[in-house]
Amino acid sequence: MTTKTALIVDDEVHIRRVLEVKLKNKGMQVMMAKNGQEALDLIQENRPDVVITDINMPIMDGKTLCILTNPLKKEKTFLTIVVTARIDPQDNIWIQELQDTILLEKPFSPMEILHIIQSYRGEPN
C-alpha cells in the first residue's frame, strides 16, 4: 500500500495535533492548515487522499473550501470529513450535495475518524 496523505484543516491547534498524531501513528502522511485558504492551496498542489476540515475558521471557512474543492473530485475523488461544533441543520443539506463528503459533530471520536478513513479506502479496521 502506498502511503496516503491526509490534510487536517482547523484553526484550533489541539484538534490539529490530536488528528495529526492519530493519523501518523497509522502510517499516513499528514499536512495541516489553519484555515480554508491555506487548505485550498495545499489541496491544489498536493491532492491529498483525505481532507478533514472544520467549518468555522477565519479567512476562508470550511463550507467555502468544500464547495471550491468539490469540482476537483471529478478528476480524482477524495474523502472530505467535515467536523463541526456548530448546530446548523443547513449543514446537512449542503454537505449532501457534495461528492464523498460526510459530516461529523464535535466532540468527535478520533478513532471513528480513523475507521471512516479506513473503510473509505476499503481496508479492514
**Site residues, other proteins (CB under 8 A):** 14, 17-18, 20-22, 107-112
Residue among 100 and 110 whose Cβ is closer to other proteins? 110
- Residue 40 and residue 27: Cα distance in Å, rounded? 24
Residue among 14 and 74 whose Cβ is closer to other proteins? 14
Residue among 21 and 59 whose Cβ is closer to other proteins? 21
Contact 91, 82 (CB under 8 A): yes
Residue among 91 and 100 whose Cβ is closer to other proteins? 91
Shortest distance in whole angstroms from residue 109 CB to other proteins: 4
- Distance, C-alpha 9 to centroid of its chain: 7
Distance (Å) of CA 20 to CA 81, 91, 124: 14, 25, 21
Shortest distance in whole angstroms from residue 86 CB to other proteins: 15
Shortest distance in whole angstroms from residue 120 CB to other proteins: 19
- Residue 15 and residue 8: Cα distance in Å, rounded? 9
Shortest distance in whole angstroms from residue 65 CB to other proteins: 23
Q: Cell 492551496, residue? A: 41
